[in-house]
């Protein structure tokens, strides 16, 4: 069920979100057999977790923007730096 051999961990946020939307669309039709629905649900959960992790990382990077004494941004720092 991987898209052209790409694992979820290798997907960009946008690709993972599109794949998640596709999973939701398929599940919403109600026309998918039970076993496939369960597999789709599990994949959807992995995709959701991946998207959330990417959003959390982006938020952490934004929060690391360094502000000067006047409150204006003076630069950035990597989110994983000490």
Which positions ≥6 away from 65 have C-beta within 8 Å?
A: 73, 75, 76, 77
User: What is residue 6's DSSP assignment?
Assistant: B
In this structure, whether the domain defined by 8-75 belongs to CATH 1.10.3470 is answered with no
* Percent of the chain's residues with pLDDT above 70: 79
Spatial distance between the Cα atoms of 9 and 69, rounded to a whole number of angstroms: 39
Whether pLDDT at 46 is above 80? yes
Residue 5 Cα distances to 20, 37, 39, 52, angstroms: 16, 21, 17, 22
Structural domain boundaries in the chain: 8-75
pLDDT tens for each residue of 47-79: 999 999 999 998 888 877 766 677 677 776 665
**Overall pTM surpassing 0.85 (yes/no):** no
């Amino acid at each position: 069920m991987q898209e052209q051999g790409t694992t979820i961990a290798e997907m960009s946020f946008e690709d993972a979100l599109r794949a998640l939307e596709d999973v939701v669309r398929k599940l919403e039709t109600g026309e998918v057999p039970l076993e496939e629905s369960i597999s789709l649900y599990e994949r959807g959960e992995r995709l959701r977790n991946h998207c959330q992790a990417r959003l959390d990382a982006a938020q952490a990077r934004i929060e690391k923007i360094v502000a000067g004494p006047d409150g204006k941004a003076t630069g950035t720092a990597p989110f994983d730096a000490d």
